[in-house]
């Protein structure tokens, strides 16, 4: 693909690196965590050097992910504040899913769905981080009832977030021309005008 | 830990297909019966356990102010005598209730249910629940599964340990080491049926001697246990240093290791497959031709503007 010098920068290098730090950790955590969640997936521990190594590594990767996510969330929180047109967008989301975006209200850098995903992940990260700390036997032994509760919270938060990330990844694949924004940072002007017209106007000053 | 080869396996942790179970315990499942009313607290059972299993715990301290020594189960102490002083208001007597604590070998073992590592916890056809430390990953899930607070994770190797009911001895037709050594015969071993009969006789005897509430502790909340107690106060098991009155696998663990597993897998699978089918039925969400053309025109204009001097 020939990149056009007039393409718009959507993410700078630091934002991209930050996103992929979280992404890589997330993938590793899903693989190692699911291995402990369901017997059918236990063989995934082999990717990490066996059961004990998976048990040792999982929480440390989790700490890295949560720290990187905190930085990323602070960067993007302001852009994800819900506004009236976001609720309007969400009301019409069925048409969007059906493949017809003609009635969708104009969106800024993020649409209502992306913003909901953002806050859904914030909630998930808080729940999974806090419960993970309670379950981390290498460092402390909380009361057993706390560990039991944490185990349930950890599993629910994990499934919640994996579900959101499946949506996140699929939306990026489905909306052609999106993945490059997180790979090398730019999107085409046509992409921006089609999907995020408000943002397009703001960064180009083009109000046609 | 014992070899899984020497006894047949009824249940195996983190395994969804049947364990090798063609051969059954046709001689009957086994049980250990601990008659608390006959225990004198000599701790010979603790010593025999250490001796047979090659365990050496740190020497405890008297400063704990109780006779329990060590004061808790550890990876090196798979059984501990727990001493409780009970002032019986009905009789005005001070009763010394001494309970040999350790794994109860539940018929429905919470540890096995919680364990994520295939085969790290097994239940033999004879009912004994055994940890296979070579398969143990040290996650501590068994601790959350246990209603009796029994498994201990070693600080040395991060593996879980507990009483094996001397599965290695039982496999070759011998009784557990603690049973062999008990000087008063307070610890007995045999088939579960035989132990029930024995308990019945002992309970009848105790009741005739004024312990109206004497009874057997074989809690049904965990499907019964393969270690049972004869208690003088079977109506109040918690008198015996916190023996649970009605032990059950925590509903949290039941939820986490029960319905949550298939539900979560189905939901995530549906999300992934649903996405694929959305793509192939609705097609990708592409930028419109109209906008592409518009931008091409604008690119052209910008290039022309730049070309002008």
Binary contact (B271, A176; C-beta < 8 A): no
d(CA B187, CA A155): 42
Q: What is the pLDDT of residue A2?
A: 59
pLDDT at B58 over 90: no
Burial category of B115 from C-beta neighbours within 10 Å (exposed 0-12, middle 13-18, buried 19 and up)? buried
Q: What is the pLDDT of residue B8?
A: 85
Q: Would you call A168 a catalytic residue per the annotation?
A: yes
Contact B36, B230 (CB under 8 A): yes
**Predicted confidence (pLDDT) per residue in A127-170, tens digit:** 999 999 999 999 999 999 999 999 999 999 999 999 999 999 99
Mean pLDDT of chain B: 93
Dihedrals φ, ψ of A129, to 5°?
-65, -50
What token pair was written down for B281? 């039925």
Confidence of residue B309 (pLDDT cuts 50, 70, 90): low
pLDDT at B1 over 70: no
Q: What is the pLDDT of residue B4?
A: 53
What token pair was written down for B159? 């593996």
Helices (H), chain A: 13-37, 51-76, 84-91, 93-97, 112-135, 144-174, 179-183, 189-195, 197-204
Instruction: Search chain B and give the residue with CA nearest A58.
Output: B139
Instruction: Search chain B and give the residue with CA nearest A146.
Output: B144
Mean pLDDT of chain A: 95
A136/B contact by beta carbon, under 8 A: no
Q: What is the nearest CA distance from B297 to chain A, expressed in angstroms?
A: 11
For residue A175, the 8-state DSSP code is B
Q: Which domains does chain A have, with CATH numbers?
A: 8-204 (1.20.950.20)
For residue A104, the 8-state DSSP code is P
Confidence of residue B5 (pLDDT cuts 50, 70, 90): low
Least confidently predicted of A104-108, A188-192, A197-201, B266-270: A104-108
What token pair was written down for A135? 């379950």
d(CA B40, CA B180): 16
Which of B94, B92, B260 is CA-nearest to residue A159? B260
Contact B115, B145 (CB under 8 A): yes
pLDDT at A18 over 80: yes
Confidence of residue B62 (pLDDT cuts 50, 70, 90): low
Contact A164, A173 (CB under 8 A): no
Instruction: Search chain A and give the residue with CA nearest B279.
Output: A174
**Predicted confidence (pLDDT) per residue in B133-172, tens digit:** 999 999 999 999 999 999 999 999 999 999 999 999 998 8
A42/B contact by beta carbon, under 8 A: yes
For residue A187, the 8-state DSSP code is E
- In this prediction, residues B304-308 reach a mean pLDDT of 86
| Region B9-250: CATH code | 3.30.70.20
Q: What is the pLDDT of residue B63?
A: 65
What token pair was written down for B241? 């240093």
A194/B contact by beta carbon, under 8 A: yes
Q: What is the pLDDT of residue B21?
A: 76
**Chain B contact set for A179 (CB, 8 A):** none
- In this prediction, residues B42-46 reach a mean pLDDT of 96
Partner-chain residue, chosen from B139, B287, B302, that has the shortest CB–CB distance to A194? B287
Instruction: Search chain A and give the residue with CA nearest B286.
Output: A176
User: Would you give the end-to-end CA distance of chain B in angstroms?
Assistant: 87
**Predicted confidence (pLDDT) per residue in B13-39, tens digit:** 999 998 877 777 888 899 999 999 999
d(CA A36, CA B97): 41
Given A19, A168, A195, A196, the catalytic residue: A168
Q: What are the residue ranges spanned by the domains of chain B?
A: 9-250, 260-307
pLDDT at B6 over 70: no
Q: Which residues contact B19 (CB under 8 A, 6 or more apart)?
A: B9, B10, B11, B12, B122
Substitution target from A50, A151, A193, A207 for chain B, most B beta carbons within 10 A? A151
Binary contact (A35, B139; C-beta < 8 A): no
pLDDT at A38 over 70: yes
pLDDT at B191 over 80: yes
* pTM (global) more than 0.95: no
Q: How many CB pairs under 8 A join A and B?
A: 127
Least confidently predicted of B56-65, B238-247, B273-282: B56-65
Binary contact (B284, A175; C-beta < 8 A): yes
Partner-chain residue, chosen from A54, A99, A166, that has the shortest CB–CB distance to B283? A99
Q: What is the pLDDT of residue B25?
A: 82
């Amino acid at each position: 693909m020939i990149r056009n010098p007039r393409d718009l920068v959507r993410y700078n290098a630091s934002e991209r690196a930050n996103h992929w730090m979280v992404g890589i950790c997330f993938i590793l955590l899903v693989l190692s965590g699911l291995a402990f969640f369901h017997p059918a997936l236990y063989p995934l521990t082999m990717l990490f050097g066996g059961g004990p190594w998976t048990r040792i590594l999982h929480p440390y990767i989790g700490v890295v992910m949560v720290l990187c996510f905190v930085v990323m969330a602070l960067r993007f929180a302001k852009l994800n504040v819900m506004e009236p047109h976001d609720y309007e967008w969400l009301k019409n989301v069925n048409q969007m899913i059906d493949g017809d975006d003609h009635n969708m209200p104009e969106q800024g850098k993020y649409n209502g769905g992306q913003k909901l995903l953002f806050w859904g992940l914030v909630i998930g990260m808080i729940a999974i981080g806090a419960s993970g700390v309670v379950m981390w036997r290498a460092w402390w032994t909380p009361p057993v009832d706390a560990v039991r509760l944490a185990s349930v919270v950890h599993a629910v938060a994990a499934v919640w977030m994996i579900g959101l990330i499946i949506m996140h990844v699929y939306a990026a694949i489905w909306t052609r021309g999106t993945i490059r924004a997180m790979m090398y940072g730019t999107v085409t002007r046509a992409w921006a005008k089609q999907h995020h017209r408000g943002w397009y106007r703001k960064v180009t000053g083009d109000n046609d | 830990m014992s070899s899984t080869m020497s006894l047949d396996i009824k249940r195996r942790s983190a395994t969804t297909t049947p364990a090798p179970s063609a051969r059954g315990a046709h001689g009957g499942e086994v049980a250990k019966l601990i008659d608390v009313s006959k225990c004198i607290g000599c701790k010979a059972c603790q010593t025999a356990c250490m001796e047979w299993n090659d365990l050496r715990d740190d020497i405890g301290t008297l400063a704990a102010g109780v006779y329990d020594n060590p004061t808790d189960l550890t990876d090196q102490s798979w059984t501990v005598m727990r001493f409780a002083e009970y002032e019986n208001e009905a009789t005005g007597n001070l009763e010394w209730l001494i309970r040999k604590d350790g794994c109860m070998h539940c018929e429905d073992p919470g540890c096995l249910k919680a364990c994520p590592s295939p085969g790290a916890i097994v239940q033999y056809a004879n009912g004994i629940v055994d940890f296979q430390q070579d398969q143990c990953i040290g996650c501590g899930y068994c601790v959350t599964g246990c209603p009796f607070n029994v498994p201990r994770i070693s600080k040395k190797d991060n593996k879980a340990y507990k009483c094996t009911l001397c599965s290695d001895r039982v496999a070759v037709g011998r009784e557990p080491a603690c049973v062999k050594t008990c000087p008063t015969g307070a610890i007995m071993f045999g088939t579960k049926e035989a132990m029930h009969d024995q308990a019945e006789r002992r309970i009848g005897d105790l009741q005739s001697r004024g312990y109206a509430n004497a009874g057997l502790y074989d809690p049904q909340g965990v499907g019964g246990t393969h270690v049972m107690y004869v208690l003088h106060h079977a109506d109040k098991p918690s008198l015996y240093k916190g023996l649970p009155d009605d032990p059950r696998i925590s509903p949290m663990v039941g939820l986490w290791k029960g319905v949550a597993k298939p539900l979560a897998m189905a939901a995530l699978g549906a999300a992934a497959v649903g996405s694929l089918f959305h793509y192939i039925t609705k097609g990708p969400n592409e930028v419109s031709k109209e906008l592409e053309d518009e931008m091409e025109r604008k690119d052209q204009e910008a290039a022309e503007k730049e070309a002008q001097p």
